[in-house]
Chain A
Amino acid sequence: MADKESAEAVISEIHRRIAEAFNVFDNESSKSVDVREVGTIIRSLGCFPSEAELHEMIAEVEEEEPTGYIRFEKFLPAMTKVLMERKFRPIPKDVLIQAFEVLDQEKKGYLEAEELKKYMTQEGEPFSQDEVEEMLSAALDNKENVIFYKDLVSKMTFEDL
């Protein structure tokens, strides 16, 4: 960023970005969003938190007595900090591919649908049934019924503007 402006201007621009993303989910202009959308908002701002990190952050911005809604007042400072500190940075493409390669024990260059499904639903922070179905439908190469993960990563990170 070749922004030669003061730190204040930088922060105010960050505030505006956060406000915009927040407002997309604030349907009733009530300055609050459903807690279940907060993950989407944070991620759409370019962050890659794990589920655990996400829950931590939510706990931070929640009301003392959780209402199921997160208020912008509390969200803004916390999110500003995240962006300023560059927390939850993106995962580089090569690292991602290496991760797939770890799962691809036989070094086939692809993963079977069942293989990936097993890993995604049993390891790490497991996907729900819906999540894994969605991933498979997007990732699966129809002709061969396997996932060519190198292509997948290219495809999905390219679109990820």
Chain B
Amino acid sequence: MGCGATKSNELQLKKYQRGSIGVPAMRAALLIQRWYRQYVARLEMRRRCTWHIFQSIEYAGEQDQIKLYNFFGYLMDHFTPANSERNLISHIFRENEICRDIEWERYFCYKNIEVPELYSGPHLSFPLTVSNVADLVEAFKNKQQLHTRYVLQLLLESWKLLRMLPNINQVSTCQTKEITICGDLHGHLEDLLLVFYKNGMPSVEKSYVFNGDFVDRGKDSIEILLILFAFMLLYPNNVHLNRGNHEDYIVNLRYGFTKEVLGKYRLHGKKILKLLQKIFSWLPLATVIDQKVLILHGGISDTTDLNIIAQADRHKYVSTLRPPKRRWVASGGNSTAGRHKVNGRMDNSLQRHCSLAYNSPLRSRYNFQSRSMQNFSSKVNLAVEEELKEQRRMAGLSQSYHDLRSSLSSDSDSDNYETYEDDSNEWKQIVDMLWSDPMPQDGCIPNEVRGGGCYWGPDVTEKVLRRHNLQLLIRSHECKQEGYEFCHNRKVLTIFSASNYYEVGSNRGAYIRLGPDLVPHFIQYQANRSTRELTLRQSVGETERSALRALREQLFAHKSDLLYAFQDYDTDNTGWISLKHWATAVEAVLRLGLPWRVLRSQLVTTTQDGMLDYQGWLRELPITEPKTELVQQSLLETMYKQRSNLETIFRIIDSDHSGLISFEEFRQTWKLLSSHLKMEISDEAILDMAVSIDFNKDGSIDINEFMEAFRLVDRTMNLPSEPNHTKTDE
């Protein structure tokens, strides 16, 4: 009870003085204020922790994605022509088959698609009119869907426009007075509509820059994309789009956009996705305002050079996670006249490429990337080349001036050398632009949290801004509680436009208005009106519940490892450990960098004298629904941990986007993954699992059903937890 006793005595003494308020009231008020302020502080702490939980789990997921790529690298190292897994893997590395522009136009073929009478959605005519676009926005507001025919048409027109744009948009305020800049939207249509409502829609008088990450995570990614493209077509001088790291089909496979499109457009979804692959690669990489303010999605590195970027063939980088295609390989399979590279020359180049790969100066800095990405790409191209020979090569894609020039030059050998260097350097520049994050310390180090790009410090900001005579860098890429945040002496500004990003109430969104004085003005908002009416306690509670649920899932996924860690501390085998050891063990296993001692009371509810029955606690963590009568529990746990990776791999394998993969494909995938994880698993065990997951009993596995099999029931909350990925609109 502590020293509270003194205070209550004092209050009691004064009771007879009830008539005069004076001192007792003051004391009482003081007490209440002290108590209430403490309460609010506790809530604030919980809110911050919740935030940290979401962020660390998000970044761990992104890192996972890159680890997946290392896994592919591992696959390639074990790749031999005789290997039966070859087909599987070649899927993964097969590029777009359609390459020439004419063929793309034919592929876009929307003309055969009839719009039925019954269709009640918006009709578009091209060139687009203001009322077309207004109708479109209105329709999406009313949850209508745009017909495939119009989608394809819109995409075709967008592609035609994007191809003509430079890598770096140059914008001036003298024409347009004020410019509005939006950050990540991530499929949050309500936020885009809110911005339009508050700020007005794009027009000749109202310029906008949208700074990437339009898609993934939220449920209306395709609608946002269509609206942005429509405005871009309508006002090409006033609406500017920058590419984000999520404008990338490989990232989309994991983070929900692919799923969304396939769900909303069952018949033509895959065609739309294929087109978007290409369109994304044509999105400009940055925008500069008045030659003073640089806007790009991720950030910079100490080698960032806008001149190099300006000259790059940006469309070569269909996915920024993968290295650029080797031109020399392309020529091997292509028999067009004018290209006179011979096998001999090719071999020389190959040798040179191999040695470059190992001695590359980039290697030490980007071990994470270069190990798997650069090394295997040359190997795979060689090994897979025979098989893919009959298919059109990606050379067609890079029919740029640069290519023609190099293919016609006589001294192509040195060109190849330069090409490789240029390619790598270019690639690095682009990855840095789309993936990097600022850090408070000086320097520039690889961004190992995300697995791509780097962390750059204030000295790098100084250097790069000065190099190009700029005064401000505006970027997005990171969620901020207030929707925006300055750093590096206010030279770097992060803007994030998806409110309630992690959960309802987690953060506000914001946008910037920039006038000729180039001083940013911020407008913040939060979609979902009801959150504003919630009290602090209620909104903290909601978000917190969600974060804790996500955290419990993480704990569940690492159950076995946690058990080992706990047992390490329990040397006498009593079944109990101290809470101190609990915290240390959990951090060692999960490595999320979270304040476990602060969170402890939320995660561990039954303790005795500061000790925890850890086995009981582990048992109480979420369980999977009874639906999954999977054969081995330990297998289940590993699968659960790897489920995002598995889903991504499955979607890659499912190249015709049918949503189904065969038993054999499942078996191969799981076998490869488990050998990578150094797990022993027999073929029968895998087959048993496949059979048990085949809910339809038709010999194939429905990817969505597979993911559903891991739906968790959160025992502590008595509520089933939501699956991690967005649900598609039915």
Contact = CB atoms under 8 A, between A and B. Distances in A.
B610 interface: yes
Nearest to B19: A105
Contact of B32 (A21, A23, A89, A120): A120
Given A20-B596, A49-B34, A91-B4, A124 B42 contact: no
A95 B535 contact: no
Contacts of B25: 102-103, 119, 123
B693 to A, nearest CB: 40
Interface string B19-31: 0010011111111
Contacts of A41: 45
Contacts of A129: none
Interface residues of A, number: 55
A149 to B, nearest CB: 9
A50 B29 contact: no
B40 A120 contact: no
B482 to A, nearest CB: 12
Contact of A50 (B18, B34, B48): B34
A99 to B, nearest CB: 4
19 contacts: A2-B609, A3-B610, A16-B580, A17-B597, A20-B596, A21-B598, A40-B41, A48-B34, A98-B12, A102-B28, A119-B28, A119-B32, A120-B32, A123-B26, A124-B27, A127-B33, A131-B36, A134-B535, A156-B39
Interface in B37-62: 37-42, 44-45, 48-49, 52
Among A86, A119, A120, A123, residue most surrounded by chain B Cβ atoms (within 10 Å) = A123
A38 to B, nearest CB: 10
B595 A20 contact: yes
A95 B29 contact: no
Interface string A124-161: 11110001001101100000000000000000100111
Task: Give 9 closest A-B pairs by Cβ, nearest first.
Answer: A43-B41, A89-B2, A124-B29, A2-B609, A44-B45, A123-B29, A20-B595, A124-B30, A28-B440
A161 B36 CA distance: 15
Contacts of A60: none
B519 interface: no
Contacts of A95: 4, 7-8, 11, 31
B32 A99 contact: yes
A110 interface: no
A77 interface: no
A125 B595 CA distance: 32
Contacts of B611: 2
Interface residues of B, number: 54
B337 interface: no
A96 B609 contact: no
Interface in A7-49: 13, 16-17, 20-21, 23-25, 28-30, 39-44, 47-49
A25 B48 contact: yes
A99 B609 contact: no
A20 to B, nearest CB: 4
Interface in B547-599: 578, 580, 583, 595-598
Nearest to A23: B595
A1 interface: yes
B4 A99 contact: no
B118 interface: no
Contacts of A90: 2, 4, 38
A24 B30 contact: no
A40 B36 contact: no
B41 A39 contact: yes
A24 to B, nearest CB: 5
A24 B35 contact: no
B11 A99 contact: yes
A94 interface: yes
B144 interface: no
A126 B535 CA distance: 21
Contacts of A120: 29, 32-33
A17 B598 CA distance: 7
A50 B35 CA distance: 9
B536 interface: yes
B408 interface: no
B40 to A, nearest CB: 7
Contacts of A1: 609-610
Contacts of A66: none
B34 A30 contact: no
Nearest to B39: A156
A113 B617 CA distance: 44
Interface of B: 1-4, 7-8, 11-12, 14-15, 18, 21, 24-42, 44-45, 48-49, 52, 439-440, 487, 535-537, 578, 580, 583, 595-598, 601-602, 609-611
Given A89-B4, A92-B1, A44 B29 contact: no
A72 interface: no
A75 interface: no
B32 A96 contact: yes
B4 A138 contact: no
A134 B40 CA distance: 10
B285 to A, nearest CB: 27
B42 A43 contact: yes
Nearest to B485: A27
B445 to A, nearest CB: 13
Nearest to A94: B8
A33 B2 CA distance: 30
Contacts of A16: 580, 583, 597
Given A20-B597, A48-B38, A138-B537, A91 B28 contact: no
A136 to B, nearest CB: 10
Contacts of B30: 50, 123-125
A103 B29 contact: yes
Contacts of A13: 580
A98 B24 CA distance: 11
A119 B29 contact: yes
Contact of A20 (B15, B34, B41, B598): B598
B612 to A, nearest CB: 12
B11 to A, nearest CB: 5
Nearest to A96: B35
A120 B535 CA distance: 18
A24 B595 contact: yes
A1 B579 CA distance: 11
Given A43-B45, A98-B12, A159-B537, 4 more contacts: A3-B578, A43-B38, A94-B8, A124-B30
A24 B49 contact: yes
Among B14, B39, B439, residue most surrounded by chain A Cβ atoms (within 10 Å) = B39
Among A43, A47, A131, residue most surrounded by chain B Cβ atoms (within 10 Å) = A43
Given A44-B41, A47-B38, A161-B601, A137 B535 contact: yes
Contacts of B439: 28-29
A89 B4 CA distance: 8
A26 B2 CA distance: 31
A113 B249 CA distance: 56
Nearest to B538: A138
A77 to B, nearest CB: 19
A6 B583 CA distance: 19
Among B25, B28, B42, B44, residue most surrounded by chain A Cβ atoms (within 10 Å) = B28
Contacts of B535: 134, 137-138
A14 B475 CA distance: 39
Contacts of A126: 33
A1 B24 CA distance: 36
Contacts of B598: 17, 20-21, 24, 44
Contacts of B28: 98-100, 102-103, 119, 124
Contact of B36 (A102, A135, A137): A135
B4 A24 contact: no
Contacts of A124: 26-33
Contacts of B537: 138, 159
A81 to B, nearest CB: 16
